[in-house]
Chain A
Amino acid sequence: MKGLKGITLFCVVMLLLMSAANTFAQTYKVAVSQIVEHPALDATRQGLLDGLKAKGFEDGKNLEFTYQTAQGNPAIAVQIAKQFVGEKPDVLVGIATPTAQALAASTRTIPVIFTAVTDPLSAKLVKNLTHPEGNVTGLSDLSPVAQHFDLMQELVPDLKVIGVVYNPGEANAVSQIELLKKSAKAKNIQIVEATALKSSDVQGAARIIASKVQVMYALVDNTIATAIDALVGVANQAKIPVVGGSTSFVASGAVAALGFDYYQVGVQTADYVEAVLQGKKISEIPVSFAKGSDLFLNLKAAEALGISLPDAMVKRATNLKK
């Protein structure tokens, strides 16, 4: 019976808090749900915040910017979605696939902008890329895998074997692997893959394949992003370069990376949020693919591996790390 009393008390307290939390403000409310905290996704969020500021929406002034991370747990992502939808913000932003899905499933009315989602069609977020039908649209970060392929060939002229470590549990990684295999088949190059289900497995997986390959491809994968230092470490020992799909990898010692600066992806996402806040209809905002592929080169890493970077490549690089 004591337990019952405790529960009743608990519920009463909860109800009181619920009513207290319902405060209204005369500002735009943007709620951001992110699946997990890692540098690329954090940069996206920061880019969004800064992008909005540049457009005149400043957090704390005329913008209420709420943010939660689900710690990689889809059940929490769902709870965050319910929480946000209940707070009735003007725009919901889902960073990465499961969070965007959870938001889209929780509301049919509040606009949902997704970002950093590789394949919005198979994630069923939209049925039509040019004319989204429901309340969902956003920005895809489909990695330019074919371009990465060319980059690797440019870097290693007699390229025969590419090594890649990825997490088969991540939707983004799987679609990139498919694209990579397609390119490889067309050019008769062998792909040696190793899987890592968690970031602590990356080092071991990389060690297994490092000696058999000429270049290590670090695709855009949350698991790899977390363990990029380990991957680069193994590649350095094996004296092979790492080519990455995310420019943030260069700072960790990848020789070259062609990708989005995820900060810029966030800034581009701000365009979507602005359009919705200005009252534009979702069906008039087509899904787009993140622009501005940046080429980052790490001259120091190249030198350490004894690789001379082609002049043409150095010339078109947007960022050189010396």
Chain B
Amino acid sequence: MSLFAFLGTLEIGLIYGLVALGVYLTFRILDFPDLTVDGSFPMGGAVAATAIVAGINPWLATILATLAGSCCGLITAFLAVRCGILHLLASILTMIAAFSINIRIMGRPNMALLGEPTIFTPFESLGFNQLHVHLGIVFLLVLLSAVFIIRLLSSDFGLGLRATGVNDRMVAAQGGNIGFYTYFGLALSNGFVGFAGALFAQSNSFADVTSGVGTIVVGLAAVILGQTLLSSSKIWVSVVAVIVGSILYRLAVAFALSSGMFGMQASDLNLITAVLVAIALVIPKMKAKLRVKSLRF
């Protein structure tokens, strides 16, 4: 793998690290299997691209994209909390609706940003290497997001959020509003995913409605992979772990793409993802078994 490909992989891994953060919030913290991300990721890209092409400042466009992602989350939460639709189904409804909405937003399925200003252009015009600029800014934004999440989950409010996914009856007994936590958690999660979509579109100069396909699988793979390698009850470790997991996932993909290596090719990706997730799921059980054995002897 070349350095260029390695850095490029890091960048995509970091961007999808935001997706993994979102998935971590819903699947792990709220215990709410949320597939909305397949819709909110391309929506982030669609909103950012449309806004930028319309002449809106790229940073403002990115914020709009984040809010659009949050709205997707709120809709899923509304369907689940208020209408009582099973959470998985509620999120699938939002996901498929988002596909149509994304085409409406852009007016077509693919919108190009080549040559348009992005959040990266001011720094590129200073003469820095394009890839370094992208990687640097994405790294900073992901770092800020991670710090924000860690701080939030360490607050009084965050504690309520964390308990909601484990024991909602107890949270209610302690005066926590489960419905509100669900709304908030889903909006936050999908906000991050929309943010990631906006960064992806600006970094790669296009937004495409099909870019959402499989986002949830990639996010989940990152969460499981990261948390298996770095398992801890400490929040900051978990947050770092899911981002690391996302980077590792992308490195594994890059592995498969490195032409000729182990005879793998891109069409083996789905298999690799499945194997990675399966290994990550099996390792904790193996560890537990080993522990039992070492106790016995």
Q: Which residues of A contact B (CB under 8 A)?
A: 3-4, 6-7, 10, 14, 17-18, 21-22, 37, 66, 68-76, 78-83, 85-88, 97-98, 101-102, 104-106, 108, 122-125, 127, 168-171, 174-175, 197
Contact = CB atoms under 8 A, between A and B. Distances in A.
A133 to B, nearest CB: 9
Contacts of A68: 257, 259, 265-266
A191 B170 CA distance: 59
Nearest to A87: B2
Interface residues of B, number: 55
Nearest to A7: B229
Given A3-B231, A18-B6, A125-B112, A73 B12 contact: no
B192 interface: no
B108 interface: yes
27 contacts: A6-B229, A14-B251, A17-B255, A21-B1, A21-B258, A22-B2, A69-B265, A70-B266, A73-B210, A79-B253, A81-B204, A83-B1, A83-B2, A85-B4, A85-B5, A86-B3, A98-B210, A101-B110, A105-B203, A105-B205, A106-B204, A122-B108, A125-B114, A170-B109, A171-B109, A174-B109, A197-B99
Interface stretch (B56-64, B69-77, B160-168, B211-219): B211-219
A257 B248 CA distance: 47
A127 B211 contact: no
B252 to A, nearest CB: 10
Contacts of A82: 4-5, 7-9, 12, 254
A3 B238 CA distance: 12
Interface of B: 1-9, 12, 16, 99-100, 103, 108-110, 112-116, 130, 200, 203-206, 208-211, 213-214, 218, 228-231, 244, 248, 250-251, 253-255, 257-259, 261, 265-267, 269-270
B5 A83 contact: yes
A138 to B, nearest CB: 14
Contact of A108 (B130, B200, B255, B269): B130
Contacts of A14: 1, 6, 251, 255
B269 A71 contact: yes
Given A83-B257, A83-B258, A76 B204 contact: no
Given A101-B206, A124-B112, A169-B103, A76 B3 contact: no
A86 B114 CA distance: 20
Contacts of A168: 100, 103, 109
B208 A87 contact: no
B266 A74 contact: no
A213 B259 CA distance: 48
Contacts of A102: 204, 206
Contacts of A4: 230
A168 B107 CA distance: 10
Contact of A3 (B9, B210, B229): B229
Given A6-B229, A10-B248, A123-B110, A71 B270 contact: yes
B204 A101 contact: yes
A125 B116 CA distance: 12
Nearest to A88: B2
Given A3-B231, A86-B1, A124-B205, A79 B114 contact: no
B5 A86 contact: yes
B210 A72 contact: yes
B200 A75 contact: yes
Contacts of A3: 228-231
Contact of A101 (B103, B114, B218, B269): B114
A122 B208 CA distance: 13
Contacts of B248: 7, 10
Contacts of B228: 3
Contacts of B265: 68-69
B94 to A, nearest CB: 15
Contacts of A18: 1-3, 6
A98 B210 CA distance: 10
Nearest to A1: B230
Contacts of A169: 99, 103, 109, 209-210
Contacts of A197: 99
A86 B8 contact: yes
A40 to B, nearest CB: 17
A75 B12 contact: yes
Nearest to A171: B110
Contacts of B100: 168
Contacts of B210: 72-74, 98, 169
A78 B197 CA distance: 13
A265 to B, nearest CB: 20
A97 B103 contact: no
Nearest to A34: B266
A71 B99 contact: no
A14 B116 CA distance: 35
Contacts of A79: 8-9, 12, 250, 253-254, 257
Interface centre among A18, A69, A75, A98 (most CB of B within 10 A): A75
Contacts of A104: 114, 205
Indicate the member of B4, B130, B269 with the most A CB atoms within 10 Å: B4
Closest 3 CB pairs of A and B: A82-B8, A86-B2, A124-B112
Contact of B8 (A98, A106, A127): A106
Contacts of B231: 3
